[in-house]
């Protein structure tokens, strides 16, 4: 069991090792599954909002959180597979010789879907319909991670840049309209930003790892509540 944990820590950081307390190991799988479910519900409500308002921003918001949800489902499943050792059976089915190879594939899949989600979210803030801009941002982001030496650090660094841009978008929107829904979105993305920054410095620091998970949980819950309120108000407006 200890060897499996060491394998997870090594491949999760590609170069470094997380110091995770024994009592929290396994709980992070539950956190990731919770993130996945919440993000999926957010995506569902975003698409419902799109049907009511016919605004492309809601549609892009829905797609972005759908990708984010998939990324967390993959991460949660792979970490659970390591704990339960079912990844060895998966390797036999897929004819993969090393369990570590399967774990690395899971990490890359998580990074891929999460970055696609963030790129889609950033593209939404640009309020443009240019597919060239979207493909340019996406391809450049993936290449930067692929060609970097420390891919996990590059992933969180790039995620932080996107989240800074998204946070500023909601900050200036709130300054202009002073709406509660915009303020909630701003707070949520500030939490996600700090969560991402925390994970950049998580190596050899237990508190950062745990705090990052709680910040993410708070952020996704706020986004879900905010989107539910927007959808509820949208239905009332349509009825009147």
Only one residue has tokens 């909002």, namely: 49
Evaluate if pTM is beyond 0.85. no
* Within-domain flag for 240: no
* Within-domain flag for 186: yes
CB distance 202 to 212 below 8 Å: yes
* Within-domain flag for 26: yes
Residues sharing a CB contact under 8 Å with residue 211, sequence separation 6 or more, in sequence order? 195, 198
* Within-domain flag for 229: yes
* DSSP characters over the chain: -HHHHHHHHHHHHSS------TTTTTHHHHHHHHHHHHHHHHHHHHHHHHHHH--HHHHHHHHHHHHHHHHHHHHHHHHHHHHHTTHHHHHHHHT-S-HHHHHHHHHHHHHHHHHHHHHHHHHHHHT---HHHHHHHHHHHHHHHHH-SSHHHHHHHHHHHHHHHHHHHHHHHHHHH--HHHHHHHHHHHHHHHHHHHHHT-TT-HHHHHHHHHHHHHHHHHHHHHHHHHHHHHHHHHH-
Low-confidence ranges of the chain (pLDDT < 70): 1-26, 82-103, 199-209, 233-240
Only one residue has tokens 């989107």, namely: 227
CB distance 114 to 71 below 8 Å: yes
Q: What confidence tens digit (pLDDT) does each residue in 194-203 have?
A: 888 776 665 5
* Within-domain flag for 28: yes
Q: What confidence tens digit (pLDDT) does each residue in 71-85 have?
A: 999 988 877 776 666
* Within-domain flag for 14: no
Half-sphere exposure of 173 (CA within 13 A, CB side): 17
Q: How many CB atoms lie within 10 A of CB 179?
A: 12
Q: What residue numbers bound the domain in which 155 lies?
A: 2-9+20-235
* Within-domain flag for 15: no
Residue 134 is predicted with a pLDDT of 94
* Within-domain flag for 185: yes
Q: Please state the domain count of the chain.
A: 1
């Amino acid at each position: 069991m200890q060897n499996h944990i060491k394998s997870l820590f090594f491949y999760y950081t590609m170069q470094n090792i997380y110091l995770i307390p024994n009592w929290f190991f396994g709980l992070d799988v539950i956190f990731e599954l919770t993130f996945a479910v919440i993000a999926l519900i957010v995506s569902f409500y975003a698409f419902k909002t799109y049907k009511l308002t016919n605004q492309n921003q809601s549609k892009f918001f829905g797609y972005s959180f759908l990708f984010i949800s998939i990324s967390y489902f993959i991460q949660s499943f792979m970490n659970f597979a390591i704990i339960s050792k079912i990844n060895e059976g998966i390797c036999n089915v897929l004819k993969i010789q090393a369990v570590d190879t399967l774990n690395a594939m899971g990490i890359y899949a998580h990074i891929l879907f999460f970055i696609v989600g963030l790129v889609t979210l950033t593209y939404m803030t640009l309020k443009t319909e240019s597919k060239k801009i979207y493909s340019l941002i996406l391809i450049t982001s993936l290449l930067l991670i692929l060609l970097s030496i420390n891919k996990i650090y590059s992933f969180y660094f790039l995620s932080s840049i996107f989240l800074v841009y998204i946070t500023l978008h909601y900050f200036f929107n709130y300054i202009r309209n002073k709406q509660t829904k915009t303020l909630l979105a701003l707070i949520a993305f500030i939490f996600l930003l700090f969560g991402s920054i925390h994970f950049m410095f998580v190596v050899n620091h237990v508190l950062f790892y745990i705090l990052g998970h709680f910040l993410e949980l708070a952020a996704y819950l706020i986004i879900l509540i905010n989107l539910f309120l927007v959808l509820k108000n949208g239905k009332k407006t349509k009825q009147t």
